[in-house]
């Protein structure tokens, strides 16, 4: 139904994506991006609303008749990475890159706006298009938009992520938990420094840090039901300034991932309990700073099933599937806590060349995925408001 019309504007969708890619903006700094999108939506005849306390842009396509309201969300922010792709449309901003596909999310949703706005007289209801800032960093942009009422009257919400690990022309979602709650922590160990040749006169924070790392892994392997899922990973360990000096302080940083609220609470408690008790055992003072990030992304079954039905029309029955949950985080979770909906992955991995992972300096998507994402948005809208 939409395929031929989308093919006619495919080059335009790609050009939008490349423009965003050349002009990436970090979280909570999406000034140019939001202005470009707002101007485009006004040209398409949408009612446009600007976020009061941020750079979020919302456009409503109000149909000829009253009916349900469906919302689509695209994230706008880039990440602090120096691009190494050598593409003709590579980032013009040093140290900032669209290395996660958000440029494609925006462009494909703009394609849907272009197509659907030309069919306004056939729409029974409202389609809300949410362009959200700051998905990449906590507290994220979703919470602010929700607080300002972006979900008021919305019957269902959907979002997609172009995913380089899935081949072009594929579509995946799942029922229930899909992506994990993502928390972070910092553990500061205050020891007693001294000469490396006389460790008995010190309280070695590196030794204590090692015990903390090892002991917390037992929390996962011995205290969490194997049927449940949880991760405690350490990404940073900093201590010392010289090879023969025992430092007086060590700092550990890491992340905790989980799906159920009960496991999330338990992991936080056990991480803090384990670290503090090891500090007491070795005579060191330990401070644990724990910050809760996004909750788990939990799809609603009915809405996920509708997403698969739309995907079958776009990708074909053999190219869609149920994906296993993964431990990445997404602030789309906040929307799904408030209204029914689903988050979905669209394959954007280019089988013709090496595929680099998300957040890699050489990350790139197969731009053929853009028109497929646009068509899926249109199909979802058709199921709800046509």
Contact 127, 60 (CB under 8 A): yes
pTM for this entry:
0.94
208 has pLDDT over 90: yes
> What is the structure's pLDDT at 351?
82
Split at pLDDT 50, 70, 90, the class of 352 is: confident
Q: Active-site residue numbers?
A: 77, 135
Of the pLDDT bands very low, low, confident and very high (cuts 50, 70, 90), residue 180 is very high
Structure tokens at 156: 């269902």
Least confident of 57-71, 145-159, 199-213, 342-356: 342-356
Fold agreement (3-178+296-385, 181-291): no
DSSP state of 355: -
**How far apart (Å, rounded) are the C-alpha atoms in residues 316 and 362?**
30
**For residue 343, what pLDDT is reported?**
98
Q: Residue 1: pLDDT above 90?
A: no
Q: What percent of the chain has pLDDT over 90?
A: 98
pLDDT at 350: 87
Question: What's the confidence (pLDDT) of residue 182?
Answer: 96
Structure token pair of residue 34: 């939001």
84: pLDDT strictly greater than 90 = yes
How many CA atoms lie within 13 Å of 276's alpha carbon, on the beta-carbon side? 9
Question: Does residue 94 have a pLDDT over 90?
Answer: yes
Cβ–Cβ < 8 Å for 266, 181: no
pLDDT tens per residue across span 148-162: 999 999 999 999 999
Report pLDDT digits (tens) over 13-55: 999 999 999 999 999 999 999 999 999 999 999 999 999 999 9
Give the contacts of 61 (CB within 8 A, at least 6 positions apart): 44, 45, 46, 113, 116, 117, 120, 123, 126, 127, 128, 129
| Statement: residue 189 has pLDDT above 90 | yes
- Please determine, for residue 355, whether its predicted confidence score (pLDDT) is greater than 90: no
3-178+296-385: CATH topology is Aminopeptidase (3.40.630)
Residues 212 and 187 sit within 8 Å (Cβ to Cβ):
yes
Q: Which of 334, 215, 226, 203 is nearest to 276 (CA)?
A: 215
Q: Please, which pLDDT band fits residue 293 given cuts at 50, 70 and 90?
A: very high
pLDDT score recorded for residue 87 = 95
Tell me what the mean pLDDT of segment 165-190 comes to. 97
Q: How far is CA 114 from the centre of its chain?
A: 25
Q: What is the pLDDT of residues 130-149, one digit of tens each?
A: 999 999 999 999 999 999 99
Confidence at residue 199, expressed as pLDDT on a 0 to 100 scale? 97
User: Is residue 97 pLDDT above 90, yes or no?
Assistant: yes
CATH architecture of the domain with range 181-291: 2-Layer Sandwich (3.30)
| Pair 20, 107: CB distance under 8 Å | yes
Q: Domain extents for the chain?
A: 3-178+296-385, 181-291
pLDDT score recorded for residue 325: 94
Please give the pLDDT value at position 353. 84
Q: Count of CB atoms within 10 A of residue 281's CB?
A: 10
Question: Residue 226, exposed/middle/buried by CB under 10 A (0-12, 13-18, 19+)?
Answer: exposed
What secondary structure letter does DSSP report for 79? Answer: B
């Amino acid at each position: 139904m939409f395929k031929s019309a989308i093919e006619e504007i495919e080059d335009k969708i790609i050009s939008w994506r490349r423009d965003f890619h050349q002009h990436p903006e970090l979280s909570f700094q999406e000034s140019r991006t939001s202005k470009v999108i707002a101007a485009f939506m006004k040209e398409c005849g949408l009612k446009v609303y600007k976020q009061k306390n941020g750079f979020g842009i919302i456009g409503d396509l109000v149909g000829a008749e009253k009916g349900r309201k469906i919302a689509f969300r695209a994230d706008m922010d880039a990440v602090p990475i120096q691009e190494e792709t050598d593409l003709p449309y590579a980032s013009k901003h040093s140290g900032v890159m669209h290395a996660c596909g958000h440029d494609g999310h925006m462009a494909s949703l703009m394609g849907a706006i272009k197509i659907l706005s030309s069919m306004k007289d056939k729409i029974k209801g409202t389609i809300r298009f949410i362009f959200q800032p700051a998905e990449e960093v906590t507290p994220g942009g979703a919470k602010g938009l929700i607080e300002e009422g972006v979900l008021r009257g919305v019957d269902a919400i959907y979002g997609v992520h172009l995913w380089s690990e899935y081949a072009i022309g594929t579509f995946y979602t799942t029922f229930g938990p899909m992506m994990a709650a993502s928390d972070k922590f910092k553990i500061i160990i205050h020891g007693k420094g001294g000469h490396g040749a006389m460790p008995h006169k010190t309280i070695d924070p590196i030794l204590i840090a090692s015990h903390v790392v090892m002991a917390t892994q037992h929390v996962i392997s011995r205290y969490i039901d194997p049927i449940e899922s949880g991760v405690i990973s350490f990404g940073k360990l900093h201590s010392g300034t010289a090879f023969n000096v025992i430092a007086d302080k060590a700092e550990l940083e890491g992340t905790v991932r989980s799906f159920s609220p009960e496991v999330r609470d338990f992991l936080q408690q056990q991480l803090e309990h384990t670290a503090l008790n090891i500090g007491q055992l070795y005579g060191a003072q330990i401070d644990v700073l724990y910050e809760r990030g996004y909750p788990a992304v939990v799809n609603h079954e009915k809405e996920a099933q509708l997403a698969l039905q739309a995907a079958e029309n776009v990708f074909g029955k053999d190219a869609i599937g149920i994906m296993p949950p993964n431990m990445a985080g997404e602030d789309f979770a906040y929307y799904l806590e408030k209204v029914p909906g689903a988050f979905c992955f669209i394959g954007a991995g280019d089988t013709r060349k090496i595929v680099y992972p998300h957040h890699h300096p050489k990350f790139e998507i197969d731009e053929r995925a853009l028109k497929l994402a646009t068509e899926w948005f249109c199909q979802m809208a058709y199921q709800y408001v046509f």
